[in-house]
Homo-oligomer: A and B are copies of this chain.
Amino acid sequence: MSAPTADPVDTTAEVTADVTHVVTELATAAKRASRTLGTLTTAQKNAVLLAAADAIDAAADTVLAANAEDVQRAEAAGTEASLVDRLRLTADRVAGITGGLRQVAALPDPIGAVLSGKTLPNGLELRQVRVPLGVVGFVYEARPNVTVDGFGISFKSGNAVLLRGSSSAVSSNAALVTVLRGVLEEHRIDPNVVSLLPSDTRESVTALIQARGLVDVVIPRGGAGLISAVVTNATVPTIETGSGNCHIFVHRDADVDVATRIILNAKTRRPSVCNTVETVLIDSGIADEALAPITSALQAQGVVIHGEEPGMEPATEDDWHREYLSLDIALKVVDDIDAAIDHIAAYSTGHTEAIITKSLAAANEFTSRVDAAAVMVNASTAFTDGEQFGFGAEIGISTQKLHARGPMGLPELTSTKWLVWGDGQIRPA
């Protein structure tokens, strides 16, 4: 970065140009490095991932010392305790990070799978094969584990990765990436397969999400503000993850005990994650019976209910939109299943929606008409999760409809290409 000058306007312009230049250089190097990644065998990739896990274990003291600097700086700046906790690494957390790399090594390699194929009447042989995307960008917040996760899943799927972490984790991230690049060099792989972007200015995010032709996809992992900023301003393709205003609809034919147990689980198990239920809709045909047990069970667990019934926090329009991510929940009595489906269509973020019912007709109607990444019958919304679905790697949950929808596994970090083999075929006029 250039030194500050006397003129603040010039300085800004200069710094911006500088950061954009740095990001463009790193992206160009990543693109170049990515071109050979697709030709590595699964065995070669797994050897690197296992060596990376061993190397981080061996460098745990260095990584923890770097993390201590980040934590100290965050505490000195008066950062909230919960954020400092997310930033903090321990020997156990480092072991979790390297365990994650070993898990990714054990996953099936998506690259090279033949998805479809045929021989045309003229003898041309077509195969549609899975190939890497090329260069993946991650923009994420405090947790340093995403630095290693992001490398692991990208590398296994044959992609180079550009990591734009939080400035609060800069020392931890730098220590981890240094270890990763060292392992790549030992394996004679271009270390630009993984690079850390400058995190001291927003300009590096802008440069990353506008590097058309160099970056093939950017995946933001973090709060709704981060995700929205990235998706709205990007000119490279993005995958929108995580925002979940999830509903549970208690149908008039529900088993009230089942409904109560599922709502409690979906709200209180881990309130801060995206598959948490945020609004309960109760069919007017069962409200007399269901309202009291559900509300008292929630309140007994300290959940604040925002609704229109007596004894609740009065709900405003805003409550139907809210992703509380806390021990708060919105609750509304609706006329019937049509009204529930309309409410969900109006307020859902398309993450996970559930119906509790004993009626097969109602279950079929709800699952066919509700538009979301996951639609559930008599189950907790907490099950929308890559590990629960058996994907084995944590890449996030896509709430968009193109390319990937729902929990993402390694195949969602790939593209395809058509191979067409012939012996001189030309196309008639």
Contact = CB atoms under 8 A, between A and B. Distances in A.
Nearest to A263: B426
Interface string A324-343: 00000000000000000000
Nearest to A275: B427
Contacts of A216: 401-402
A215 to B, nearest CB: 11
18 contacts: A38-B368, A128-B406, A232-B235, A265-B426, A269-B427, A372-B417, A375-B419, A376-B420, A377-B419, A377-B421, A378-B423, A379-B424, A379-B425, A380-B426, A388-B427, A401-B415, A403-B403, A406-B416
Contacts of A390: 118, 120
Contacts of A258: 423-424
Given A371-B35, A418-B406, A401 B124 contact: no
Interface of A: 35-36, 38-39, 118, 120, 124, 126, 128, 131, 133-134, 212, 216-217, 231-232, 235, 237, 239, 255, 258, 261-262, 264-266, 269-270, 345, 363, 367-369, 371-380, 382-384, 388-390, 400-403, 405-407, 415-427, 429
Nearest to A378: B422
Contacts of A426: 261-262, 264-266, 269, 379-380, 382
A142 B239 CA distance: 33
A97 to B, nearest CB: 22
Contacts of A212: 232
A35 B369 contact: yes
Contact of A345 (B35, B239, B419): B35
Given A38-B368, A382-B426, A374 B418 contact: yes
Contact of A371 (B134, B406, B424): B134
Contact of A401 (B134, B383, B421): B134
